[in-house]
Every structure is written in C-alpha cells, then in structure tokens.
C-alpha cells in the first residue's frame, strides 16, 4: 500500500455482509453492531423490517415500506478506529439474486449460525457463492442463552458441511440457563455475561487469566474446573487461528454469544475489525484495480426501486473500488460511453440517508438511476474498461408468463427486457416455441415483476407452471459440435434476456444425462453480466 490519504482511507474500510439462514439472528446482531458503532441509540431500530417479512405476495405493502429497506441496504458505522460498511442481504422470502450479487461487493462475510439448528440450507447456498471469490468468513454461533447443541458438534458440522476449517477464538462457558460468558482463547480473558443488557452497550465484566482464583469465585469451582478442562481439550482438538488461511477463505475464526443478550458480539467485532481484510483488488477486462489507485472506479451490484412510486427513480448501488468520489465529480458510464456529473449520490449512515460529499474505496454510494444504469455497469474517470465477476446465477424457480390481453405482447417484451437488464428477473425464450419463461432465485421476484409490469408497463399478466427445474448457460469452442447440439437438444434450449444460449432442463437427472452425453459442451451455472 502506498502512503497517501487515499491508501490510508481505504485501509480503514471493512466492507462485509452477513450470511445466515432466516431466524438465525441476522437482524438482531445487526442492531447490536450498530449500537456498538453508536449508529443507533437503542437496539430495536432495524426491527421494523421484520414487520414485512411474511408479506410474500403483498408487494404493494413492501413498496410502501421501501424506505426502510433502502436505508438498511447499506449501513456505515465507525468501530475500533475503522469504518465498517455492512451490506444487507435480504433475508426470508424476499431472497433474490440481489443477495447473491451483494456478495460480489464485499471483502468478507460474517456467518451467523443458530447454535441449536447448526448449518441450514440458505447458509449452504450463500457459502457456495462466497466460494466463487474465496471470500473470508468469520463465524458467530448465536443463541448461547438457549440450550443449543454441543459447540464442538456445531463446529464439526460447519467444517464438514461447509468444507471450511474452524478456529475457535472464544469458547462458551455453559449454555442456556447456565450460560455464564465466554473465554477468549487468545487474550486469556474470561468475559462474564450479565442478563438484561440486550438493548444497550453491556458492561464488560472481565477476568484476566483462566487460572485466576477470581474465575473460581465467579463461576464456582466446579464450573471453573470444567471450563479449564474443556479449553484444554478444545485447544488440542481444533485448528489454531491463522490469519493467512482466513484471508484465503480456508479457515473461519469462530465466536460464540447471544445476539439478543448482546453478549459475545463485542469480542466478535473486535476480532472482525482486526482481522477482516481491507478493500481488495478487483479484476477488469483490462487490468486489476487496486484500492490505492488514485483513478476513481466502481461497479453497480444492485438496483432498488425508490420509495416514491410516482416517478420511476431507482437507486443504483455502486461499490467504490479505487480512487475518491467527490460531490459534483464527472464519471464515465462505460457501457453507454457517456460522461455524467454526479451531484447527488447518497450515502447510508445507519437509519439515515444523506448526501455524501466524499467516498473512498470500500464505500457504497447510491446513484439516482432513471433507467440507464444496469447491474454490472462500470464507472470510471474516462478509462474504457469493465469490471468482471458480477455474475447472473442460474435460477431455481421458473414460470411461464401469459398475457391477459394478447395485444400487449410488445409492451410485455419491452418490460421483461428492461427488468431483466436491471436484474429483477431472468427471461428465457425457448428456441422451439413462443413461450416466455421467467427464472428467479426467490419466489418474491415473481410478484415484484408482475407488479412492476402492471404499474410501469401497463401489462397484466399471469403465471403458469412450466416444466423446467434448472438452467445452465451453454458454451462450446467447437462450432460444429455446438450446431449439432442445438439441433438435437433444441426442445430444451432457449435464449436468455442477454442473448445467450441456455439449456433449460426439465429435471436435474435430465441435465446430468445431457452433460454426460455431450462432454464437449460446457454447462455453466453462472454467467457474467
Ligand atoms: P433473522 O434476521 O436472521 O431472520 O433473525 P432475527 O434477528 O429476526 O431473529 C430471529 C428470532 O431469534 C427472533 O425472535 C429473535 O429475537 C431471536 N434471537 C436472535 N438472537 C437470539 C439469541 O441470541 N437468543 C435467543 N434466545 N433468541 C434470539 P422472534 O420471536 O422471531 O422475534 P422477536 O419477537 O423476538 O422480535
């Protein structure tokens, strides 16, 4: 790193997202982190988000509550001398490709696991996405105030199911009603838990030294002795923390606590700001961009409808990769080849959004988008290059679109084209017929698309089931082979919204058999924007 103001500002940034299964405690831990960052006075402010989490098909209501979700999309707060940017990944039913793509804009992730439930489905999926970029993962095992599973067993499960080594950093002292605190394995400090401090910054009652007589006095001799034996066992049986292995995404430091009781979170945050990587370099089609490069660059990873339904304004979220953003600066919108002056970018300080005067690598800024910005777009100060690695993910849910008024076909096609460019859904047009098939990662995406087609393009449509279970993008260097494949497999081939050839498989077994039958064809689960 160079010694410039830019390099120093970049070095301060820690940009991350939380990966977890619904109900593991993501919202609760977010509140507690904001509390420690003094970004909110009392935990509970993020909670309003919970009200709309069951509103699967109630898109109107969600639209009205958009203000909340826009402001919680990015939360910036200071902690331990660093500036932390937490990018929200929508949980629950509103799970979508946004969640996946947000992970392309972070430098590390925090995995929150419900200690009683262990590794759950959504976490496995999100972890697969992190693997694509070897994102470093820090783990928080939550709900120690409940009777969870044996902590060693939970760590074993993380290791085997998620294929990552675990290095316990703190170790829980009891659990459930007998939860007394955590022992920090590297600082040799016992932190004692006091109930009822969930909504404020808790006192740090600490005892230096596991073998101190104060530990016996605080825990009672039996529990103290048990803890010492357990710690010895854990030290012998688990991996030691290794910063390089963590940064390579091979080993995860593990912290224990209770988000609700606001305990163990401080130790985790301390570890996070110390070990998590600062803004990393990003690949483009021309060169690799490092954070300390003075030339401003960034890419758009998410587009979100704005609060005001009366105009079509949307916010494009841009991750700053290098250089400094300053109010009124001119940027090149590379894809359309235009220079634009940006006077009103937004920043997201906790629950408040305000105009930002400057932003540094690792920061996220919100650009007003009147329909010209797409997901994956690169912004520079004149350089003609594009960031790579912001992928489309193969959808897992498919529906056929049927128009209520057949004369609206043109409007429907235009709407779907634009919504797919924006990343709200994916469209597939089979080669052999005139169907229009939508693909999504989460079911709410379908409701959003239907609603927006009606509001913004005046098209009424309904969905029907379709016999597609999964999709893969098809590539082959051998043109003759590809032609032959197109002829023989045409019943299962489609063109997607970006013009790419896609195999839409009726079943996973069918996909597997087709892959075996056509070894020269590559079937890709992601494609670049
Ligand atoms: P999510 O965003 O990952 O979906 O989880 P969220 O924080 O909303 O937490 C899910 C439920 O788990 C909430 O209960 C929350 O209070 C509870 N929870 C979170 N952390 C802990 C913890 O450390 N210990 C215990 N015992 N519970 C925890 P809820 O009943 O769904 O909501 P609420 O009525 O408590 O708000």
Q: Where are the domains of the chain?
A: 19-65+107-275, 282-380, 394-528
Q: Which residues line ligand 1 (CB under 6 A)?
A: 20, 22-28, 50, 91, 142-143, 145-146, 258-261
Residue 39 pLDDT: 64
Closest atom, ligand 1, to C-alpha of 30: 7
Residue 358 pLDDT: 87
Residue 242 pLDDT: 98
Orientation angle between helical segments 444-457 and 409-422, nearest 10 degrees: 130
Mean pLDDT of the region 285-295: 97
With a cut of 50, say whether residue 54 has pLDDT above it: no
276: confidence class by pLDDT, cuts 50, 70, 90:
very high
**CATH 3.40.50.300 corresponds to the domain 282-380:** yes
Residue 249 among known ligand-binding residues: no
pLDDT in tens, 175-209: 999 999 999 999 999 999 999 888 888 999 999 99
Considering only residues 483 and 455, tell me which one the structure prediction assigns the higher pLDDT: 483
For the domain spanning 394-528, the CATH number is: 3.30.70.3280
Which amino acid residue places its CA nearest to atom 15 of ligand 1?
25
Q: DSSP secondary-structure letter at 489?
A: T
**Same-fold call for 19-65+107-275 versus 282-380:** yes
Closest atom, ligand 1, to C-alpha of 259: 23
Mean pLDDT of the region 356-383: 89
Residue 498 pLDDT: 83
Rg of the Cα atoms in the chain? 25
Which of 88-97, 244-253, 267-276 is least confident? 88-97
Q: Quote the pTM value.
A: 0.86
From the CA of 114, how far away is ligand 1's center (Å)? 10
Token reading at 217 = 């006095």
Please give the Cα distance from 319 to 323 (Å, whole number): 11
Which residue in 115, 101, 263, 111 sits closest to 180, CA to CA?
Answer: 263
CA angle 512, 514, 518 (to 5 degrees): 120
Please give the Cα distance from 490 to 503 (Å, whole number): 9
pLDDT in tens, 99-137: 888 999 999 999 999 999 999 988 998 998 899 889 999
Residue 447 pLDDT: 86
Residue 322 among known ligand-binding residues: no
Considering only residues 352 and 500, tell me which one the structure prediction assigns the higher pLDDT: 500
- Judging by beta carbons within 10 Å of its beta carbon (0-12, 13-18, 19+), is residue 160 exposed, middle or buried? exposed
Residue 368 among known ligand-binding residues: no
Residue 307 pLDDT: 46
Token reading at 226 = 């048990």
For the domain spanning 19-65+107-275, the CATH number is: 3.40.50.300
Q: How far apart are the first and last CA of the chain?
A: 30
Please give the Cα distance from 458 to 452 (Å, whole number): 9
Spell out where 71-130 has E strands: 74-79, 82-87, 108-114
% of the chain at pLDDT higher than 90: 67
Residue 244 pLDDT: 98
pLDDT in tens, 231-261: 999 999 999 999 999 999 999 999 999 999 9
Please state the three-class secondary structure of 381-431 as a single string: CCCCCCECCCEEECCCEEEEEEECCHHHHHHHHHHHHHHHHHCCCEEEEEC
Closest atom, ligand 1, to C-alpha of 257: 23
Residue 90 pLDDT: 66
60: confidence class by pLDDT, cuts 50, 70, 90:
very low
From the CA of 27, how far away is ligand 1's center (Å)? 8
From the CA of 224, how far away is ligand 1's center (Å)? 30
Mean pLDDT of the region 441-454: 85
Considering only residues 44 and 262, tell me which one the structure prediction assigns the higher pLDDT: 262
List CB contacts of 417: < 8 A, sequence separation 6 or more: 427, 497
Which of 14-18, 106-110, 174-178, 449-453 is least confident? 449-453
459: confidence class by pLDDT, cuts 50, 70, 90:
very high
Give residue for tokens 């838990």. 193
With a cut of 60, say whether residue 355 has pLDDT above it: no
Closest atom, ligand 1, to C-alpha of 50: 8
Orientation angle between helical segments 26-36 and 265-275, nearest 10 degrees: 70
Considering only residues 298 and 346, tell me which one the structure prediction assigns the higher pLDDT: 298
452: confidence class by pLDDT, cuts 50, 70, 90:
confident
């Amino acid at each position: 790193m160079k010694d410039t103001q830019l390099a120093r500002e970049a070095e301060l940034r820690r940009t991350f997202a939380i990966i977890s299964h619904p109900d593991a405690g993501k919202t609760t831990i977010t509140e507690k982190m904001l509390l420690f960052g003094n970004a909110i006075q009392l935990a509970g402010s993020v909670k309003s988000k919970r009200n709309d989490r069951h509103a699967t098909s109630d898109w109107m209501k969600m639209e009205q509550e958009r203000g909340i979700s826009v402001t919680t999309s990015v939360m910036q707060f200071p902690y331990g001398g660093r500036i932390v940017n937490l990018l929200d990944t929508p949980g629950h039913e509103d799970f979508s490709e946004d969640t996946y793509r947000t992970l392309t804009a972070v430098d590390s992730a925090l995995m929150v696991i419900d200690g009683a439930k262990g590794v759950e489905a959504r976490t496995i999926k999100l972890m697969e996405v992190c693997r694509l970029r070897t994102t470093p993962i820090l783990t928080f095992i939550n709900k120690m105030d409940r009777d969870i599973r044996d902590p060693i067993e939970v760590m074993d499960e993380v290791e085997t199911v998620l294929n990552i080594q675990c290095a316990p950093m703190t170790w829980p002292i009891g659990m459930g009603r007998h939860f007394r605190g955590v022992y920090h394995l590297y600082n040799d400090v016992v932190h004692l838990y006091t109930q009822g401090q969930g909504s404020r910054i808790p006192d740090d009652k600490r005892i230096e030294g596991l073998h101190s007589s104060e530990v016996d006095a605080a825990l009672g001799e039996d529990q103290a002795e048990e803890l010492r034996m357990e710690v010895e066992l854990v030290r012998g049986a688990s991996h030691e923390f290794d910063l390089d292995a963590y940064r390579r995404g091979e080993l995860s430091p593990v912290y224990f606590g209770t988000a609700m009781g606001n305990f163990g979170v401080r130790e985790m945050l301390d570890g996070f700001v110390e070990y998590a990587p600062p803004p990393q370099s990003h690949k483009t089609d021309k060169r690799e961009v490092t954070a300390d490069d003075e030339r401003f660059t960034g890419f758009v990873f998410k587009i979100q409808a704005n609060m005001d339904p009366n105009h079509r304004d949307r916010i494009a979220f841009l991750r700053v990769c290098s250089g400094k953003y300053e109010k009124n600066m001119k940027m090149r919108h590379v894809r359309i080849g235009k220079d634009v002056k940006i006077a009103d970018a937004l920043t997201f300080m906790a629950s408040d959004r305000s105009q930002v005067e400057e932003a540094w690598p690792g920061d996220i800024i919100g650009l007003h988008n009147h329909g010209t910005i797409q997901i994956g777009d690169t912004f520079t100060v004149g350089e003609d290059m594009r960031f790579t690695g912001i992928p489309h993910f193969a959808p897992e849910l498919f529906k056929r679109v049927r128009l209520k008024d057949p004369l609206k076909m043109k409007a429907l096609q235009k709407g779907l084209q634009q919504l797919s460019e924006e990343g709200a859904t994916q469209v597939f047009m089979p080669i052999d017929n005139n169907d229009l098939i939508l693909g999504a990662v989460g079911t709410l995406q379908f409701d959003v698309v239907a609603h927006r087609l009606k509001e913004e393009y005046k098209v009424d449509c309904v969905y029907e089931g379709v016999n597609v279970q999964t999709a893969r993008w098809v590539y082959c260097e051998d043109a003759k082979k590809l032609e032959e494949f197109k002829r023989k497999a045409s019943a299962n081939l489609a063109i997607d919204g970006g013009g790419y050839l896609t195999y839409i498989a009726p079943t996973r077994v069918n996909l597997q058999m087709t892959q075996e039958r056509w070894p020269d064809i590559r079937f890709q689960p992601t494609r670049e924007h």
